[in-house]
Structure 1
Amino acid sequence: MNQLDRYVGRTVLVAILLVLGIIVGLDAFAAILNEAEDVSESYSFLNALSYVVLTLPGRFYEFIPFAALIGCLIGLGQLATTSELVVMRGAGVSVARLVWITMKPALVVAVAGILLGEYIAPKTQQLAESRRAIALNPGEGVAGKHGLWIREGDTFLHVNALEPNGVAYGITLVRFDEQQRMEWSLSAQRASFQRDHWVLERAVKTDFTRWATSVSEHTTLRWDTGITPDLLALEVLSPDQLPLDDLYRYGRYLMQQGLEADDFELAFWRKLLQPLAVAGLVLVAISFVFGPLRDGTMGFRIFAGVIVGIVFRTSQDLLGPSSLVFGFSPLYAALAPIAVCILAGLLLLSRAR
């Protein structure tokens, strides 16, 4: 049985990795074409190519569930086409055992995806976004098209670009009073973090009074705040690109600031439940091969897998925002498509027996 496990597992694993490589390759090629539209004197084609390369770990992580579904359909479909699955069943190998044999390589890929999404993809994605922002907005001190916004109390901060070493470019600060009237605004070309405060460089501050404004220029200016480079780094990435620990911490920070954090809670549950999502999709793939697609062609199996993957992703994309609009728990939004996949897979497998 160990030899059988290795043979089936290797077939499925190779198919999953092959599909993953093809999907990520196509997605990366499309991203290069998209980035080429922003190529300019400051943002060269090599910058665009470097950006796409640095985002590859995140792309691999994103497509793992879809690749697991299609890869299992291809791997098991290949065994079904050559009648090897029939021989295994005739030799007394149960469907439950074949399910477990197929599930193991898929879960290995899922665990590898967790490590990739937690420890590698966020760092490379942040580096990619920072380099891109710096190249597109080199050192400008005004709030522009690119960058990020963050709020601390009545102060609003915009940063055009942030380097991983805690250096920010293109800083704009705006402060409001209790009546929502602007007290002052400040722009600086560069800022560096010094343990417990920021040092703003080449800063221009404008103070607003009821009847007049006053402008002051500073070569350097100290800014005391609770906003740290780590906190800014969380704003550089979308919630789906952050590791679980950062999602939890930043969600709590937003709630302390009186801001909505449901999208971060939704991303937290999606990431936490991704191995279960992989298992559910693999279960559907196995049930298809032993059930409705047992005699189908390889092309039809791939087509069916693509449809299931699209429906699964669309349901996630619809239920996620729906939970934010209608107020039900993001946990239910993340869990519902997975539960449907598992139930559908079990139902089809029970009929295949």
Structure 2
Amino acid sequence: MRRLDRYIGTVVLAAIGLVLAVIVGLDAVAAFIDEAEDISDTYSFAEVSLYILLTLPGRCYEYIPFAALIGCLLGLGQLASSSELVVMRAAGVSTGRLVWTALQPALLVAILGFVLGDQVAPHTDRMAETRRALAQDPSEAFSGRHGIWSREGSTFLHFNALEPAGVVHGIILLQFDEQRRLLTALRASRATYAGGRWLMRDVVQTHFSSWQTTRETLPQLYWETGITPDLLTLVVVEPAQLSLADLYRYSRYLHSQGMESEDYRLALWRKILQPLAVGALVLVAISFIFGPLREGTVGFRIFAGVIIGIAFRTSQDLLGPASMVFGFDPVYAALLPIVACALAGFALLARAR
């Protein structure tokens, strides 16, 4: 029986790996073509290639549920087409045992993907975004395409790029009063963090009042703030690309500043529940192989997998904003598509028996 388990697991695991490689490869090629439009003297072909390479872990993590779904359809479909599943069931292997055997490699991929998305992808994505921002605009940092905004109280901060050593490029500070009137606008070419404060260099500061505007140029200026380099690294990338610890920490920070944190809470729950999402999608794939797609062709199975994956992703994309609009907890937005897939899979398996 263990030999049979290894055989089924190897077939399913190989199919998932093949599908993941194809999907991520196509996505990387499309991203490379898109980035190639910005190639310049500083943002060279090598920099574009390195950017794509650094984003590969994040792309793999993003497509793991989709690859597990289609890979399971193809792997088990291959066994069904060659009548191997029929022989296994005729030999006394129960449907439940076959389902559990097929689920194991998919859950292994889900766990590995979780580790990849939580421990590897956040760091490589930050490196990729920082290198791209610096390469695209190394001299005049204020006009960077990929600048980021953050806020602390009534002070708004914009920066173009953040290096891992805590060096920020292209800083703009806007300070408002309680009536949201602009008091001070500051621009600095770069800033370094040391001793709990920022040292900004090449500063141009403009003060606004009801009767005049004054401007001064300073070689350097200290900025006392609670915003640290660790905090700024969290806004360089999208919420879905952060680790669990960073998502929890930054959502708490946003809440303390009176800002909306639902995006980060939703990303937190989606990351926590992704292994369950993979399991639910694979369960639907297995139920299709034992049910309506038992005699289907490879092309039709791929088509069915794509439709299921799109429906699952669309439901996630719709429920996420809905949780913010209607005010229900983001955990329900992340959990509802998973529960729906799991129930559909169990229902189809019950009919197949």
Settle same-fold status: TM greater than 0.5: yes
Mapped to 2, the partners of 1:327 and 1:280 lie a distance apart of 26
TM-score by length of 1: 0.98
Mapped to 1, the partners of 2:143 and 2:128 lie a distance apart of 20
- Is this contact kept in 1: 2:244–2:271, CA < 8 A? yes
For 2:174, what is the secondary structure of its paired residue? strand
For 1:314, what is the secondary structure of its paired residue? helix
Q: Where do 1:168-187 residues align within 5 Å? A: 168-187=168-187
- Is this contact kept in 2: 1:191–1:198, CA < 8 A? yes
Mapped to 1, the partners of 2:312 and 2:195 lie a distance apart of 45
- Is this contact kept in 2: 1:183–1:209, CA < 8 A? yes
In the alignment, which residue of structure 2 is the partner of 1:304?
Answer: 304
In the alignment, which residue of structure 1 is the partner of 2:294?
Answer: 294
Which amino acid in structure 2 is aligned with residue 53 of structure 1? Answer: L
In the alignment, which residue of structure 1 is the partner of 2:204?
Answer: 204
- Is this contact kept in 2: 1:141–1:172, CA < 8 A? no
In the alignment, which residue of structure 1 is the partner of 2:225?
Answer: 225
- Is this contact kept in 2: 1:140–1:160, CA < 8 A? no
In the alignment, which residue of structure 2 is the partner of 1:137?
Answer: 137
In the alignment, which residue of structure 2 is the partner of 1:81?
Answer: 81
Q: Percent identity?
A: 62
For 2:41, what is the secondary structure of its paired residue? coil
- Is this contact kept in 2: 1:247–1:264, CA < 8 A? yes
Change (3 A) 1:106 1:195: farther
Mapped to 2, the partners of 1:312 and 1:39 lie a distance apart of 36
Which amino acid in structure 1 is aligned with residue 231 of structure 2? Answer: L
Mapped to 2, the partners of 1:7 and 1:195 lie a distance apart of 59
Which amino acid in structure 2 is aligned with residue 6 of structure 1? Answer: R
Which amino acid in structure 2 is aligned with residue 258 of structure 1? Answer: G
For 1:235, what is the secondary structure of its paired residue? coil
For 2:142, what is the secondary structure of its paired residue? coil
Q: Where do 1:1-353 residues align within 5 Å? A: 1-142=1-142, 144-353=144-353
RMSD value over aligned CA atoms? 1.1
Which amino acid in structure 1 is aligned with residue 102 of structure 2? Answer: T
Unaligned runs of 5+ in 2: none
For 1:203, what is the secondary structure of its paired residue? strand
How far the C-alpha of 1:321 sits from its partner, in A, is 1.0
- Is this contact kept in 2: 1:139–1:190, CA < 8 A? no
Mapped to 2, the partners of 1:142 and 1:274 lie a distance apart of 38
- Is this contact kept in 2: 1:139–1:169, CA < 8 A? no
How far the C-alpha of 1:267 sits from its partner, in A, is 0.6
How far the C-alpha of 1:143 sits from its partner, in A, is 5.9
Which amino acid in structure 2 is aligned with residue 206 of structure 1? Answer: T
Per-residue Cα deviation, 1:119-139 (whole angstroms, up to 9, x for no partner)? 110000000001111122224
- Is this contact kept in 1: 2:16–2:68, CA < 8 A? yes
Mapped to 2, the partners of 1:338 and 1:12 lie a distance apart of 21
- Is this contact kept in 1: 2:262–2:324, CA < 8 A? yes
Which amino acid in structure 2 is aligned with residue 213 of structure 1? Answer: T
Per-residue Cα deviation, 1:3-27 (whole angstroms, up to 9, x for no partner)? 0110100110010001000000000
TM-score by length of 2: 0.98
How far the C-alpha of 1:42 sits from its partner, in A, is 2.6
Mapped to 2, the partners of 1:195 and 1:116 lie a distance apart of 33
Mapped to 2, the partners of 1:256 and 1:143 lie a distance apart of 31
Which amino acid in structure 1 is aligned with residue 323 of structure 2? Answer: S
- Is this contact kept in 2: 1:110–1:275, CA < 8 A? yes
Which amino acid in structure 2 is aligned with residue 246 of structure 1? Answer: D
For 1:294, what is the secondary structure of its paired residue? coil
Mapped to 1, the partners of 2:76 and 2:191 lie a distance apart of 56
Which amino acid in structure 2 is aligned with residue 30 of structure 1? Answer: A
